Copies of this chain bind each other. A is one copy, B any other.
Amino acid sequence: MARRVVVIGGGAAGMSAAAKAKRTDPTLEIVVYERSGYVSYGACGFPYAIKGEIARVEDVVVRTPAQFAKQGIQALIRHEVLEIDPVRQTVRVRDLEDGREFVDHWDELVLTTGGQPTRPPLPGLDLPGVFALRSVEEALAIKAWLAEQRPRTGVIIGGGYIGLEMAEALAAHGVALTLVERLPQVLPSFDPDFATQVADELRRQQVDLRVGQPVQGIVGDERVRGVVVDGETIPAEIVILAAGVRPSAALAQAAGIALGPTGAVAVDDRQRTNLPHVWAAGDVAEALHRVTGKPAWIPLGTTANKQGRVAGENLAGGDARFGGIAGTTVVKVFDLEAAISGLSLARAQAEGFNATAVSATAYSRAHYMPGHQPITVSLVFDQTTRRLLGGQLVGREGVAKRIDTVAAALQAGWTVDEFAELDLSYAPPFAPVWDPLLVAANLARR
């Protein structure tokens, strides 16, 4: 009899695992249970679909259940897994359309339940016009609200990646925005001087930015009317809750699958959990951080795709390993790009490194070329070992792919001196003769 694989969650990690498993061993019987109405979508595209840069929200869907069926993968939408029995190797599933429950057997189980928005204990969270942003359905609901209600005012709760991207998206609809972040800065994974540049851009774009101010409540009647911050009610005809995400690990935990120190499912570099034949990947799982050497939880689409593939290959009898993460992330905030890889200075010091940072500003192109833009680069390194620990970049062009060079250096485990020896590309339309990365590295060298 064919071995049966059950995948819980049809996002990027789950569908990558399913597809890779089927390619590796075509005899496998694979079923994916997905609670929402869509599988295989890139949630990272939602802000651009809401903004209107992408015509339809559904365009972010990579493949439909019908397309997976042609590959021999059964993807069942609107099916929620309620319970995992690791001894009997079964799951209990509810069909959300008719409420019917059934039990399915698995030989291999893949946990790709993803993450979910943090819901702070606030009154008014359930008012119409208050949205989070994880599913296609939520993205569609925001788009419909914008089209039908035409909100003139809005509040975004949270200054992380999603909050910042949603600021750009809502501003494009003419919504007068307030962004509230309880921490003293936006983008808490960045050092303060970088967060300040992002904050400046938000203000330049007419976003009323309130940092260091927790939200006290959301008010309204038949729909949202405002958000209470520091005793003041800020008018809001739309509210986006983007106050962080956490791993959707309750199902796993209830089944005795071990979580790691971050609260996500602990996995090894094969994506194995503590239970035999149970794998985890994507936003529900941890990943080894190459710089700290410790498990980290940095939920990102790239990691989800890679881990999913590794889980899929291994459960099908292959031998793949996931090389870990460097914590590379980039975000577009209106006309600004901000990127990080590795550790910020604050984080590096908190991790016990003898860390310091150098910072330089240089141009994205040769100084005599039209359109050149300043890029600020910070390199964090250990003063004892001189090892590079992280890098941050901010600027109006040429930031996103420059951070990849930092990611490579972190993977290589270089010192800042080795980093300074890089033979980076140069031509006047693309870089100055001393690339901003090297200008910073030369400062560290002294």
Contacts and interface: CB of A to CB of B under 8 A. Distances in A.
A277 interface: no
A401 B430 contact: yes
Nearest to A429: B332
Contact of A425 (B53, B305, B403): B403
A81 interface: no
Nearest to A329: B425
Interface stretch (A143-151, A234-242, A353-361, A405-413): A405-413
Interface string A405-446: 101110110100010011111111111011101000000000
A44 interface: yes
A160 to B, nearest CB: 13
A344 interface: no
Total copies of the chain: 2
Nearest to A433: B301
Contacts of A423: 290, 302-303, 323-328, 341, 407, 411
Interface string A33-49: 00000000010110011
A59 B437 CA distance: 24
A290 B437 CA distance: 20
Contact of A368 (B59, B303, B325, B429): B59
Contact of A433 (B305, B322, B369): B305
A369 B52 CA distance: 10
B60 A425 contact: no
Contact of A369 (B54, B325, B403): B54
A423 B390 CA distance: 13
Contact of A426 (B44, B59, B425, B435): B44
Interface in A369-393: 369-370
Contacts of A337: 430
B305 A42 contact: no
Nearest to A402: B401
A407 B428 contact: no
A330 B429 CA distance: 10
Interface of A: 12, 42, 44-45, 48-49, 53-54, 59-60, 290, 300-303, 305, 322-332, 337, 339, 341, 366, 368-370, 398, 400-405, 407-409, 411-412, 414, 418, 421-431, 433-435, 437
B339 A426 contact: no
A401 B365 CA distance: 11
Nearest to A12: B433
Given A12-B433, A53-B369, A428 B42 contact: yes
A425 B54 contact: no
Contact of A430 (B59, B327, B400): B400
- 4 interchain residue pairs of minimum CB distance: A323-B421, A400-B430, A408-B408, A412-B412
Nearest to A337: B430
A412 B302 CA distance: 23
Contacts of A437: 404
A54 to B, nearest CB: 5
A44 B427 contact: yes
